[in-house]
Amino acid sequence: MSALVLNEEQQMLKDAAKRFMVESAPVSQLRALRDNNDETGFSRELWQSMVEMGFVGTLVPEQLGGSQFGYVGMGQISEQAGRNLSASPLISTAVGGVAALLLAGSSEQQQALLPKVAAGELLLALAVDETPRHNPAQVGTRLEAQGDGLVLNGRKQFVVDGHVADKLIVSARSSGADSEREGITLLLVDRTAAGVRVERTSMADSRNAAVVTFDDVKVAATDLLGEAGKGFAALELTLDVVNAQLAAELLGLSLESFERTVAYLLERKQFGVTLSTFQGLQHRCAHLFSELELVKSAVLKALMALDAGADDASMQVSLAKAKASEVAELATNEALQMHGGMGMTDEFDIGLFMKRARCVQALFGDFRYHANRFASLKGY
């Protein structure tokens, strides 16, 4: 059991990510993208800089053009992205896409695609959910034999970066009933393939998501990631990897809203004194501080468990995502309340943190989903 602290290299990566996000991907960038109704939803230039910084290839093996820095390393980048509400395809491509290829793809597929991902030439998106609430085993999208090939039919939603991804990683059913774990296949589909319809959904956090419909889309056997019907285990592991990073992002945005709120209390005066002198507010801040300390520990543990390939990694990830979601909700709600009327204005950033928090919470399972999973994994 290694110590629950960052090593020197991870600390350096954290510092570099911190500087980078503040300078190159601040909250004002997200605001500008939103106000200009940007069609891409992120800055392509920023994505290139992230490639140059090595962020995009953090999880990619060295021999395939990445830095293979591990989940703890990636978590430091996600946390800083959370602090700055940095809009980019890091989660969809550098985390979800790369993890799916590493966990389910053949070495040919990895060699063909991962170097392109690390070089910023290929965007990926996970098309998993079919219902408004996350339920990865609920797969009605069908992959069926037709002639000498396969065809895909179905509908996916909350596909983050789905409208810009070059390739979609889709969970589809080859056999079995709609909610069975058996019979699920993972496959790659080109976004521009015939029969794929992508509709961008405008979300509360001004970030990217899409509804994707597959209408008799032709699929080659070489596009399957792993064996047909045996994809659920790899999907679950992929989702663990993504959820650990989402937990890190939630930690970052919770810490940032908290620190901004403490600064506001120290500055805002009412009744002739700063708000920071009121015990009613002090104690709520102290409680939130304590909760945030718990989130820090849970997130770091989950990232380390994934790096170590620990047996209880899934449980640690659900602990981290559940706790990070619960506390992000508290942190952003408290931040808004303590900013008073200013918190309700679009001009203040606090509302943006709250909106992003709810989207990250909901993506791939919120507090309730992961609390339930945690209990199930513990046998109750």
Partner 1 sequence: MADLDAFRQQTRAWLDENCPPSMRKPITKESDQCWGGRNFTFESNDQKLWLERMAAKGWTAPDWPSEYGGGGLSQEEHKVLREELARISARPALSSFGVWMIGPAILKFGSEELKRQHLPAIVRGEIRWCQGYSEPGAGSDLAGLQTRAVDEGDHYIVNGQKIWTSYADKADWMFCLVRTNPDAKKQLGITLVLFDMATPGVSTKPIKLISGNSPFCESFLDDVRVEKSQVVGEINAGWTIAKYLLTHEREMIGGMGRTASGQKTLSQVAVECIGLDGGKLADDMLRGEIVRWDLDAAAFALTAERVLDEAKSGQGVGAASAMLKYYGTELNKRRQELLVALHGSDGLVWEGEAHREGAIPRNWLRSKGNSIEGGTTEVQLNVISRNILGLQ
Tell me which residues touch partner 1 (CB under 8 A): 1, 3-5, 262, 265-266, 276-277, 279, 281-283, 285-287, 289-290, 293-298, 300-301, 319, 322-323, 326, 371-372, 374-376, 378-380
Shortest CB 148 distance to partner 1, Å: 43
User: Per the structure block, which two tokens stand in for 343?
Assistant: 């918190």
Dist. CA 80–CA 17, nearest whole Å: 6
- Amino acid residing at 206: S
Nearer to partner 1, 6 or 217 (CB): 6
Closest Cα to residue 219, out of 197, 189, 194? 189
Q: 12-27 burial, b for 16+ CB within 10 Å, e for fewer?
A: ebbebbbebbeebbbb
Nearer to partner 1, 223 or 291 (CB): 291
Q: From start to end of the chain, where are the E strands?
A: 124-127, 142-146, 149-156, 167-173, 184-190, 196-200, 210-219, 224-225, 269-270, 273-274
Nearer to partner 1, 130 or 291 (CB): 291
The backbone torsions φ and ψ at residue 142, rounded to the nearest 5 degrees and listed phi first, read: -115, 140
Shortest CB 133 distance to partner 1, Å: 16
Shortest CB 136 distance to partner 1, Å: 18
Shortest CB 178 distance to partner 1, Å: 19
Shortest CB 297 distance to partner 1, Å: 4
Nearer to partner 1, 59 or 320 (CB): 320
Dist. CA 208–CA 87, nearest whole Å: 9
Nearer to partner 1, 113 or 313 (CB): 313
DSSP string, 328-380: HHHHHHHHHHHTHHHHTSSSSTHHHHHHHHHHHHHTT--HHHHHHHHHHHTT-
Closest Cα to residue 250, out of 365, 135, 120? 365
Cβ within 8 Å of residue 27, ≥6 positions away: 84, 85, 349, 352
Nearer to partner 1, 221 or 375 (CB): 375
Nearer to partner 1, 221 or 286 (CB): 286
The backbone torsions φ and ψ at residue 54, rounded to the nearest 5 degrees and listed phi first, read: 90, 0
Measured over the CA atoms of residue 265, residue 266, residue 267 and residue 273, the dihedral's sign is positive
Shortest CB 131 distance to partner 1, Å: 21
Nearer to partner 1, 207 or 296 (CB): 296
Shortest CB 68 distance to partner 1, Å: 22
Shortest CB 259 distance to partner 1, Å: 9
Nearer to partner 1, 72 or 125 (CB): 72
Shortest CB 3 distance to partner 1, Å: 4
Dist. CA 165–CA 169, nearest whole Å: 10
Dist. CA 285–CA 154, nearest whole Å: 47
> Tokens 């992002």 map to which residue?
249
Dist. CA 78–CA 248, nearest whole Å: 6
